[in-house]
Amino acid sequence: MTAPTVIRAVRVWRLPAQPAGLPPGLPEPVAAAAVHPPAGPAWAEHRTRFALELVGEEISGWHAPVGEAVMRIIVDDVAAGLIGHDTAAPRRLPYRRRTGRHRRGAHARQADSAVELACWDLASRATKASVTELLGGTIRPAVPAYASALGLDPTHAAATDAAAWISDAGFWGQKWPLTKPLILAGPRAVAAALAPLHEAAGPGQLIVDGLGRCRLDEALRLLPVLADLQVAFAEELLPPGSPGWHRLRGAGVPLAVGEHAVDGVEQVHLLTGGSVDVWQVDPGWAGGLARSLHITDLAADLGMATFPHGNHLLAAVALAGACYRDTIPAVEWHLTLEPLRQQIFSASAQVEGGLLPVRTAPGVIEIPRLPEKAAVLEVTAP
């Protein structure tokens, strides 16, 4: 009899598109300052989405959502080689047979990550152990979350009220965007916008995200302002590793990168290059949970805390549950986007008192029963 952790088939299911606009039920100050609704149908990966199912012996593992370009790589290059893979042996996964030429780049890495996360989901369900237990054991039952206010305008009249609400809700900290108009307005305008948010944040940490939009000269002029505000870290003022990145060092502002470092060599290069203070990882982009745990441990060995990126929140929480708070102080909760992401799951994550519970049941995610017409492809053993 085939072991329950062995993959017998790969199925693809179509999911509904991400709804456009803001999610319902946002706190009023957050909704008032949310001048940029999350991208919905405007982005292809939000408009056409799929769920990946790895079928075992009377049980399946899942990962979702997956964009069309990434799912195409899984179907064309990866799926056939997954048949017969035992998900109880995660280190064997990279050595399964592949076809085609899509071995590198962001989409290929996302394809590998999606498959790896679905393997953990299957292995967890088959063994009736939580994913965090399989990663080495649950160290803490809940993980702090920091609120990402990307999409909110830091210059809006309601921004200070939103910052106060985030603080009152118990979040570890709050991250605000440095919008391009604000960057162009100069350091005084940035100070005028961020100082009230810093005060309203109270004991919570203030984080800023440059979204890679600063020129080198703009970033250098902003650093003294950010240092005066004692920001916990500044994320991607410049694209990481870009020319002049090293010149941002020494201004007293911790620099954070990592969410877009999908290639393993790039991750190690950034971590060991002496130009990073805070690491960010996304298990859905960086190669999966095993790779994320490895690179998180490497960052800890180098004296850096890791703050997992929130795009694959449930996997990030499973990762954080297996790590001490000094290693992963908090994970990202996107105020306006995460409620939309959670709509595809039958059991959604909720922040309570600034904490996200670490899942104790088997599996990474819970997908509701999908209609048969939603199945678009199945790959089985020849």
Task: List pLDDT tens digits, range 38-78.
Answer: 988 889 989 999 999 999 998 999 999 999 999 999 999 99
Nearest to 379 by CA among 99, 45, 92, 91: 99
Q: 102 pLDDT exceeds 80?
A: no
Return the SS3 of 64: strand
Confidence of residue 300 (pLDDT cuts 50, 70, 90): very high
Q: Which domains does the chain have, with CATH numbers?
A: 9-128+367-380 (3.30.390.10), 134-357 (3.20.20.120)
- What span, in angstroms and rounded, lies between the C-alpha atoms of 311 and 366? 16
Q: State the average pLDDT for the chain.
A: 94
Question: What does each C-alpha distance from 172 to 140, 201, 280, 288 come to in angstroms?
Answer: 16, 10, 16, 25
Average pLDDT over residues 88-105: 86
378 φ/ψ angles, rounded to the nearest 5 degrees: -140, 135
Q: Kind of pairing, strands 9-15 and 375-380?
A: antiparallel
The partner residues of 306 in beta bridges, in order of sequence, read 279
- Nearest C-alpha neighbor of 322 from the set 142, 143, 137: 137
What's the pLDDT at 41? 82
Helix (H) or strand (E) holding 175: strand 173-177
Task: Please say if the pLDDT value at position 382 is more than 70.
Answer: no
b/e 305-326 (16+ beta carbons within 10 angstroms → b): bbbbbbbbbbbbbbbbbbbeee
The Cβ of residue 74 has, within 10 Å, a number of other Cβ atoms equal to 27
Name the 3-class secondary structure at 368. coil
Closest Cα partner for 68 from 57, 54, 52, 85? 52
- pLDDT given for residue 1 in this prediction: 53
Name the band, by pLDDT with cuts 50, 70 and 90, for residue 107. Answer: very high
Position 224 scores a pLDDT of 96
- The CA distance from 229 to 212, in Å, is 20
| Sheet containing 375-380, strands listed edge to edge, beginning at the edge strand earlier in sequence | 60-67, 49-55, 9-15, 375-380
- Residues of the chain with pLDDT > 70: what percent? 99
Tell how strand 278-279 and strand 142-148 pair up.
unpaired
CA distance 169 to 351: 9
pLDDT band at 117 (very low <50, low <70, confident <90, very high): very high
Q: If you count them, how many residues does the chain have?
A: 382
Spatial distance between the Cα atoms of 318 and 158, rounded to a whole number of angstroms: 34
Mean pLDDT, residues 110-120? 97
What is the mean predicted confidence (pLDDT) over 98-124?
91
DSSP state of 263: S
CA pair distance 301, 380, nearest whole angstrom: 42
In whole angstroms, what is the distance from residue 175 CA to residue 152 CA?
Answer: 10
pLDDT score for 69: 94
Q: What is the pLDDT of residue 303?
A: 96
Tell me the pLDDT tens digit for each residue of 163-202. Answer: 999 999 999 999 999 999 999 999 999 999 999 999 999 9
